Amino acid sequence: MSTTSARVIELNLYARYFDLVAAGRKSREVRVKYPKFDGLTAGDLIRFSVKDTDRSCLTRVTRVAEYASFEELLDTEGPSQVNPDSPREEQLANIRRIYPPDKERLGCLAIGIELVD
């Protein structure tokens, strides 16, 4: 009999987004569909860290949804799930500064997250 266990992925976040995750206010993480996310599923764990600090928090993946564009992602998931402190258009501009069009074409992931105690 084989058993599977949740995998743990380590990801960096800018401090402003990390603070939202650590406070439990950000329930969707937006990423491009890089190969390291293949097979990511509910129950997997993501440890978010702020680069070059000792700040980290552990989250559990609640769901993963793929979209063709960041616009579709924000419209379907709701901007308040991604960043409750910023309006949709500001979020879209910020996401596209991080991920230019060639990256967006790889596919856009909305990763549902919840803090792990």
Question: In this predicted structure, what is the pLDDT of residue 3?
Answer: 53
pTM of the model: 0.93
Topology (CATH level 3) of domain 8-115: 2.30.130
Question: In this predicted structure, what is the pLDDT of residue 117?
Answer: 76
Question: In this predicted structure, what is the pLDDT of residue 5?
Answer: 76
Per-residue pLDDT of the chain (117 residues; tens, 9 = 90+): 545 678 999 999 999 999 999 999 999 999 999 999 999 999 999 999 999 999 999 999 999 999 999 999 999 999 999 999 999 999 999 999 999 999 999 999 999 999 997
**34-43 long-range CB contacts below 8 Å, 24 or more apart?**
34/106, 36/9, 37/9, 37/64, 37/109, 37/111, 40/9, 40/64, 40/109, 40/111, 42/112, 43/6
Q: What is the domain partition of the chain in residue ranges?
A: 8-115
